[in-house]
Structure 1
């Protein structure tokens, strides 16, 4: 209770809540094509490869836009950029409601939906800067739990599409977006002690650091796995096991619930035990579950395995964003956008890999096993990092002992 009370006194909770809501509704809209994808696929008669591209384009666009959104948030303030992002997100929703009739329309509005995905680079730094170092994992976990917006999309999207048609889902999505826009504009605040934006030369220095690229690779697996599978699983369950469109959406809702709400716990555990060490165990667990999924067991066994896999992904996302403010306290907006962009790239490639491998081999197995290989590489890198860190600590200790003797 004492720790909870000090947490609420340490920062600005209205901004933390507003950041969560902004990210939540944006994430809901970002993955809307995946939520109603089974209806679009049936209506437009798409091939497996076209299905993968349809749900992957918003993820790619979100990845590309996160870096500029992070830069703008550093310079103009997170509140101003967040409000602009929500206004621009209304454009593809209006397009999907009134004009989307062909696959080319879906691809184009899907790219614009990436604006919602780029909210990641604005919402998390806006909340993070209000809180001291010891609460960064918890704060980034709470704000990042806005990826639970996926639950809203997958739970209600298929039902609304079945009742009113998939075009109407875009129109209905405008309502929660407008409500959150009002709340965000009223209660969110930029931290008054925010550090001045770094110069471009300093940004280049950050890009030269190996940690930036390693964290980006790790996040391309954890968040890329989360958002990529979120976008594609409805299509997977519908195609592989023949469940109804609404049931497929419910299955995705269940596993996404696990991945979303474990994220703050992942941040909390990283605060206590170390993010790098936690990542190694989470990725190792994901390797096992995804390998078994690749054997394509019965539908309910697969569902249970995805539930556990999303627990690993969600906790890993929280752990990674406990690490970033620790390494890059002055450039958190840029690095968050950069690392987040790679998470989006991972989420773009995964649906394409699954769809393409299905079209080439008539099986999803090889797509899942390719994910296992990537996680094996990540675990190997983490083990190397841990050895280097222990070696560095040992060398520092010896240097101190030598200076004392002198």
Structure 2
């Protein structure tokens, strides 16, 4: 699927550093999700409080991606990444040292974890600027596969919390972040192909273009679904099927692994078959999976299988969206990554919090899943409406080989 020419293009140490930085940041970003069952047991949280707790870092990560997108253009991806990582490591250590036992402190920690979610707006532009248009889907798929860090959180956080306590797990999370920071400092390199610096107003001028808003809608569904479920599935498996925190974490990890590893595949398939064609199919699959799982099947294997397929489609969809974005907004990739990533985070906040609210007020997760299925169907219709214009008007400015649209 990946050609030999790809490995001759770009700068592989930067691509690896982008992936590793993103991977460890995402592990920490959704850390409260896998720990939510144990935390709520200690603090006696209800379903709505649990939903908001795991959704808050997702929301803050969304807005901070815009900030990081602007900083990437102003001071470069590498410096921005180092600054953000230092903030997260510091926040984790302060929380661990103080060891507070209240809901408000957890929400404050969620604000700090938002900086880890903003790593998206650093890793993708850093990798993207090294690669020509025909390899954008593959390169950004590999860098974006760093969302596999959510798998590590789901796999190890509940088990470690059962042994050492969830407060200590939050402190331990600073260790892999420090390793990733060292690798990032040593291996990452800003591309010489940086676009000319623009004013803040010029960057935001992209919002006058309808295509920017379409991409924001598309990613709010694909990444919103992925991040929202990654944060919520531990709670879902615990309450829906009565699984222990550790077993619920294993089930969550399986689903998240599908979505994470599928992102490069979605980008590579989009390079080969066209991003619009691939993304359309994936929206249909994701919407169908959300409708089916909303019925709350009593058999664990059935619910787990449907969620696995749904996360697979959403993960591939993330790669497909970012095969298209650099083709349309190559000169504004930093700010577009921030804006599009912001709406992806907002979608994740909505899904995670709405599932909690749905369970709190109706006793079932069905309404939350059905509304999100409707959003996926809406994105599919919107993509169908613009595909002819995109295919007939997009061009490659530097004269290099065009990518499939």
Q: For the pair shown, which has the larger CA radius of gyration, 1 or 2?
A: 1
Map 1:21-170 → 2, pairs under 5 A:
21-99=20-98, 100-170=100-170
Say if 2:397 is the partner of 1:357. no
Query: 1:96 Cα deviation (Å)?
Result: 3.0
Whether the 8 Å contact between 1:142 and 1:263 is mirrored in structure 2 is yes
Counterpart CA distance in 2 for 1:38 and 1:92 is: 22
Map 1:1-400 → 2, pairs under 5 A:
4-99=3-98, 100-297=100-297, 298-389=299-390
- 4+ residue runs of structure 1 moved beyond 6 angstroms? none
Query: 1:142 Cα deviation (Å)?
Result: 0.2
Counterpart CA distance in 1 for 2:143 and 2:388 is: 32
Kindly tell me: are residues 387 and 331 of structure 1, through their superposed partners in 2, closer, same or farther at Cα, counting changes over 3 Å? closer
Counterpart CA distance in 2 for 1:180 and 1:151 is: 16
Counterpart CA distance in 1 for 2:125 and 2:12 is: 14
Query: 1:200 Cα deviation (Å)?
Result: 3.1
Whether the 8 Å contact between 1:98 and 1:167 is mirrored in structure 2 is no
Q: Runs of 5+ in structure 2 lacking a partner?
A: 394-405
Counterpart CA distance in 2 for 1:135 and 1:380 is: 27
Q: TM-score, normalised by structure 1?
A: 0.94
Query: 1:45 Cα deviation (Å)?
Result: 0.6
Q: Runs of 5+ in structure 1 lacking a partner?
A: 394-406
Whether the 8 Å contact between 1:27 and 1:117 is mirrored in structure 2 is yes
Deviations 1:189-238 (A, max 9, x none): 00122122233343233111111111101111110000001101100110
Whether the 8 Å contact between 1:36 and 1:166 is mirrored in structure 2 is yes
Whether the 8 Å contact between 1:259 and 1:312 is mirrored in structure 2 is yes
Kindly tell me: are residues 187 and 388 of structure 1, through their superposed partners in 2, closer, same or farther at Cα, counting changes over 3 Å? closer
Whether the 8 Å contact between 1:7 and 1:135 is mirrored in structure 2 is yes
Q: TM-score, normalised by structure 2?
A: 0.94
Matched pairs, number: 391
Query: 1:387 Cα deviation (Å)?
Result: 4.5
Counterpart CA distance in 2 for 1:203 and 1:156 is: 40
Whether the 8 Å contact between 2:282 and 2:314 is mirrored in structure 1 is yes
Counterpart CA distance in 2 for 1:306 and 1:87 is: 35
Matched with 1:402 is none
Query: 1:274 Cα deviation (Å)?
Result: 1.4
Q: What secondary structure sits across from 1:295 in the alignment?
A: coil
